[in-house]
Structure 1
Amino acid sequence: MMVLSSRLVALALVLYVTAVPAPTGHIVHEVRDIIPRGWTAVRRAEPDMVLPFRVGLVQPNLENIEEYIMDVSHPESPNYGKHWTPAKVASTFRPTKESVDTVRTWLVESGVASERVKLGTGGSWIKVNVTIEEAERLLGTEYYVYQFGEDESHTHVACHEKYHLPEHVSKHVEIVSPTLHFDTKPRGPAGQWQKLGSRDDASASSNSSAHAIGQPGFGTSFPKTTGTVQGIIDQLENCDEQIVPNCLRALYDFDYYPLVPEKNSLAIVEYTPQAYNASDLDIFFGNFSPSQVGQRPILYSIDGGYLETEDGGGFYYNGESNLDLQYSMTLVGPRQPVQLYQAGDFYEGASFGNLLDALDASYCTFEGGDDPEFDATYPDPHGGGYEGPENCGTVSPAYIMSTSYGYTEADLTPAYEQRQCAEYAKLGLMGITVLYSSGDYGVAGIGEACLDADGQVDWFGHTFAPAFPVDCPYVTAVGATRVNPNSTIFEPESACEQIIQSGGGFSNVFPVPSYQAAAVEHYLANYPPGYPDGTYNTSGSRAYPDISANGANYVVAVQGEYYLVYGTSCSSPVSAAIFSAINDARLAIGKSPIGFINPAIYTPEFMAAFNDITTGSNPGCGTEGFYAQPGWDPVTGVGTPNFVKLLALWLALP
């Protein structure tokens, strides 16, 4: 637990009682109940400091987005598989002229010169640089400089507790930035961004930003290892000790020869400084898929993303990407190309927002660069990094995308998470399947931290800490299972409790989606966890994971050696390879890709096509977490895939 000096504590207490009343006619637009762990207000921000003020406009029809996506994704819908074009998505959710005019008029009538106000790319944001004094007057709030711990070089500017908007403006605004949010990376000396990926520490600190997601050891889903292993055993009877591709093929009845790989697409997402090592791919292929020696993923560089890390890498720099690519590429085989979305340079890094910018131009936040409150800014404003323009709508999304990175939900703000979650729904409308690892800390957050009674991340807390983006109802969350010790692949797996614990739980931000409501209700009614009120959200919220796959004892080549690797980082790319094969089979007979799969997999017919996991739990926060039970559970979801059964069901759909 961070201990602050008495001077900082005393100053913080003073700051918290010096609120300025909101202007007449203003209402509270957004509230922050707590400051993220480790940060303390140290002084009022200077009145003449300039802020990159951004107003995110309400996107119309978002209230209908679940209805839209169910219409094209539920097996019983007459429009199943009739996915939307990007143009239809953009036009349906583009902010209205009324919203643009209302916000612009408010700013001008408040004293901001009209020529300073600009509408951003995609029409979703209004951009204007303002001073602290102007921002405080516009929002009826006070801005402070916050410091992380006692390190005076780690500071951040944000407003205090809440901000206000005129009532007639508020209904047109989704979020204002910078305001309450701490989704930012601390600045180093002289205001420069700190270089990502310090070799001095293989575990990133909790003050990493939304665009430091690739930091070694950071996040809810960073693979763990017990070290190197000598003597690779490619025998099915040894899958309880070493998982290799043949184990997974046997576990999930997965044997497929791609028919139309030129029509199909599969992408693995990585964030710098994580990067694969080419020679390690060939070592792995040499053992498990010799015909793929020399084969590489197709690189899509996003905002300066590149392949090789500095200083030779190692497990904490190559392990994640090596794992993802070695298994996804081997399982789909040499005929099916695998794309690599490598996001961010080594200095600025990248966020999920930077990725979404590249996939959908309408998501880009404003002209000339991303929102620095949340995302890495390109061209690199501080020098030394990627100097090209930000990638905005430059990548056509693959039909299947797998990501093995995540945050503790409480580290970000609901407004930020909700806006991003809506973008995943839009991808689903276009026929894209988005998979995320569910996390490796059971019911706890990053580094096994939980929440206190106020919902703040706390190493000594006892309230479960859900993760993001896996809590978004429009992604498919993938948990982890294991072959039990001294068991075979022909016996049921259990929830992974070896080295890592399969992440799962209930969101504190997103409500339960309609496709999942019956499964969640069945679990809570028949297998109530029995924890005291307040231990987890019981108010009807999005639950995860949705599915699972093996996540223990993977053999992965890293820097010329084989490591035993554990994590939901294993589960997601393996699932992606299986679903990609189903897409190939559907595309080969002229049908659409499977798209957003959650409404299908929660139907009784599809649930029966998964291997139900009924043993194990996901401990955390001083508890045994949740228990795997018959049917869906917040440990392993609906279970692990049976490829043959799922293929038959999806081929039968329109």
Structure 2
Amino acid sequence: MLLSAFVLGLLQLGGAKPLLSKRWNDLAVKHAWVETPRGWEFHSAPPQDHLLDMRIALKQNKLDDLISSLYEVSDPAHERYGQHLSKEEVDVLVAPHPDSIEAVESWLGYHDINPADAHFRSTAGEWITIRVSVAQAERMLNTKYGIYYHAVSDNYVVRTMEYSLPVELHSHVDVVTPTTYFGTLHSMRATSFLQPQTNSLTDDKDSFAAVISPLAVPASCGTTVTPACLRALYNTTNYVPKATATNKLGIAGYLEEFANDADLQTFFKAFRTDAVGATFTHVQVNGGLNTQSDPGVEANLDIQYTEGISFPTPNTYYSTGGSPPFDKDTFTPTNTNEPYLDWLNFILNQTTIPQTFSTSYGDDEQSVPEDYATTVCNLFAQLGARGSSIMFSSGDNGVGGGDCLTNDGTSRTLFQPAFPASCPFVTTVGGTTKVNPEVAISFSGGGFSRYFAQPSYQSASVAPFLTNLGTKFSTLFNASGRGYPDVSAASNGFQVVIGGRTSSVGGTSASSPTVAGIVALLNDFRISEGKAPLGFLNPLIYSTAKTGFNDITSGSNPGCGQTGFTAIAGWDPVTGLGTPDFLRLQALIA
């Protein structure tokens, strides 16, 4: 969208700058850290001519209408249930108000940037990306950028400790990046880990792929998990997908990982022989990798278990890349290296999208600026409104990893919720272990958000847990926050083929694709019956589908030097509503 004639006229007047200077020099802080985010240290100042791709998120004019629509089309008791929105209908609701467009474009013009030269604009106009130098960005945001180093990942980023915007823009702009969000492809956490201490199945005997009766799931499935175990445990063994021309399952992958085709075939030969020869679609986003030379544990885990459960449903693996390491001697543009935005902007720009997604990554909520987290969470709401079910791992640190000290300057010890697991518009998946019965696994991430309020869809389920808990841990968590996980699944001893060899892998990264595979089958059933896919799951699973889960009533998730929460009858912040029973859920959504 071009500058309005009025704004252009102002800029062409000799006195334009003085007239506009008061408007654009009255600044207020948008976000600031009181201390450098944990794990990062200041390295040096970047060259002033180093280029950044600055993303500006304009406030969405009808966001409340979008969220209302999301809840209506996701609530089985509502007359609009299943009437998901098209991309064009979502775009109308998320488009910025003309006043917001005028204000942002006038501000850019004041800084001698022509919005017509924007590097990228979303189709609804709520995102604009401009290419600016560090010097320009510092003037625009009244800040100083630095090069920061993350020792654990050996990663450098260009970020700032705070940034400001003109007071007038605070009501028109949600967030500007890259600024104070330090998370990157390499510093964010994958929620899986190798388990070398756990025995793995090292050959391809037919017995590993043999059908297991749901009535007699062997105890070995509690520690050495295969697709046959999961299909029996969660009652999908005899379901044959029918809507494979329409129904799709997507995996969002980060950390420059990719899934290996040869390993998938080895996995099929060992664990699901009827799927041998099946493939999946590779999509590379923002420089994502697919060299097939050094497969990622996380990527192989995800694709092998979504395929292992949902076959022959078509799967797509999205490998999201990022900017190269910072090089002070080159001045080529670096993009924001912020993976959620990279992937979300890509997927929301597509006309058709998978009906089910799984993602197995996350950060401590407190490490993500609240304005950034809210903006990203609202993008997940767009996906849900369009009819997609989005699963996220709950994390592998119980109620919090490490010392759990706050980063607000007070250094208090508090339980540390994870993001995006804490977003109310995703379905978050915790972890279990053992069978007959399943129990909560100790690392299952769970708790209560400090950014997002408890949504109404879960209040009746969360209230009994809080009543039972009483005053225990009352100073360590936000009882009025969004509680998670929502559901759970096995997360221990998954047999994954990596580089041709079978290894045991654990983590809620295993439980998220497991649930996604089951949801994909439920979507297949709905679509094959001429009905809409399930879309955003939470209003359904906390109401009419609540009895479709196996309640987990033992185990806990320690962390932060505390015993953590305990799984009890009903919902709990360790295993959520429990683990899925496909046949029961199928009957409930019919």
**Structure 1 segment 244-259 matched on structure 2, within 5 A:** 244-254=226-236, 255-259=238-242
Match of 1:303 among 264, 286, 291: 286
Secondary structure at the aligned position of 2:56 is classed as strand
Please tell me whether residue 434 in structure 1 is matched to residue 390 in structure 2.
Answer: yes
What residue number does 1:124 align with?
126
Deviation at 1:567, TM superposition (A): 1.1
| Distance in structure 2 (CA, Å) of the matches to 1:43 and 1:305 | 28
- 1:264 shift after superposition: 1.2
- What secondary structure sits across from 2:223 in the alignment? coil
CA 1:478/1:412 → structure 2, altered by over 3 Å: closer, same or farther? same
Matching residue of 1:262: 245
Alpha-carbon offset, residue 556 of structure 1: 2.0
CA distance in 2, matches of 1:136, 1:306: 32
The answer to whether residue 481 in structure 2 is matched with residue 537 in structure 1 is: no
Q: Which residue of 2 aligns with 1:377?
A: none
Separation (CA, whole Å) in 2 of partners of 1:398 and 1:258: 15
CA contact (8 A) 2:484 2:573 kept: yes
Judging changes above 3 Å, is the alpha-carbon distance between structure 1 residues 638 and 77 closer, same or farther for their aligned structure 2 residues?
A: same
Q: Is the 8 A contact 1:243 1:553 kept in 2?
A: yes
Is it true that 1:577 corresponds to 2:522 in the alignment?
Answer: no
Instruction: State the match for 1:401 in structure 2.
Output: 357
Q: CA deviation at 1:503?
A: 0.8
Structure 1 residues 127 and 423: alpha-carbon distance in aligned structure 2, compared to 1, 3 A threshold: closer
For residue 417 of structure 1, the aligned residue among 354, 373, 380 is: 373
1:449 aligns with 2:449: no
Displacement of 1:629: 1.1
Question: Which of 318, 339, 346 pairs up with 1:358?
Answer: 346
Q: Is the 8 A contact 2:36 2:161 kept in 1?
A: no
Q: Which residue of 1 aligns with 2:587?
A: 648
**5 Å matches for 1:266-285?**
266-271=249-254, 273-285=256-268
**1:601: which partner in 2?**
541
Q: Any residues of structure 2 matched to 1:100-119 within 5 Å, and which?
A: 100-108=101-109, 110=110, 112=112, 114=114, 118=118
What is aligned with 1:554? 494
2: CA distance, partners of 1:571 / 1:508: 24
Tell me how far apart the structure 2 counterparts of residues 125 and 260 of structure 1 sit (CA, whole Å).
35
Shift in Å, 1:219: 0.6
Which position in structure 1 is the counterpart of 2:441? 496
Is 1:31 the counterpart of 2:1? The answer is: no
Q: 2:418 aligns with which of 456, 467, 488?
A: 467
Normalising by the residue count of structure 2, what TM-score does the alignment of the two structures yield?
Answer: 0.83
| Residue pair 2:58, 2:173 contacting (<8 A) in 1 also | yes
Provide closer, same or farther for how the CA distance between residues 160 and 301 of structure 1 changes in structure 2, counting only shifts above 3 A.
closer
1:173 aligns with 2:118: no
The CA distance in 2 between the partners of 1:103 and 1:273, in whole Å, is: 33
Give the secondary-structure state (helix, strand or coil) at the position aligned to 1:239: helix
* Partner Cα distance (1:268, 1:545) in 2: 19
Question: What's the offset of the Cα at 1:342?
Answer: 2.5
How far did residue 136 of structure 1 move?
A: 4.9
TM-score (norm 1): 0.76
2:446 matches 1:528: no
| Higher alpha-carbon deviation: 26-35 or 321-330 | 26-35
Give unmatched runs, 5+ long, in structure 1. 1-21, 184-208, 362-392, 484-488
How far apart are the structure 2 equivalents of 1:42 and 1:289? 50
How far the C-alpha of 1:428 sits from its partner, in A, is: 0.5
The alpha-carbon deviation at position 144 of structure 1 amounts to 4.4
For 1:321 and 1:44, the matched residues in 2 are separated by 35
Distance in 2 separating the partners of 1:42 and 1:268? 35
- In the alignment of these two chains, the number of paired residues is 541
Q: CA RMSD in A?
A: 3.0
Q: Per-residue displacement from partner, 1:525-547 (whole Å, max 9, x unpaired)?
A: 122371251x2223x11111110
1:63 aligns with 2:61: no
1:553-608 Cα shifts (integer Å, max 9, x gaps) = 222222232222211111111111111111111111211001101001111x3222
**Match of 2:334?**
none
Gaps of 5+ in 2: 1-22, 326-336
Instruction: Choose 257-266 or 421-430, whichever is displaced more.
Output: 257-266
Deviations 1:120-179 (A, max 9, x none): 41222445555666555544x33142543799x97654444452423x332111122343
1:318 aligns with 2:271: no
Q: CA deviation at 1:356?
A: 1.4
Q: Is the 8 A contact 2:42 2:149 kept in 1?
A: no
Q: Distance in 1 between matches of 2:491 and 2:406?
A: 32
Aligned with 1:331: secondary structure? helix
What amino acid maps onto 1:355 in structure 2?
W
2:320 counterpart letter in structure 1: A
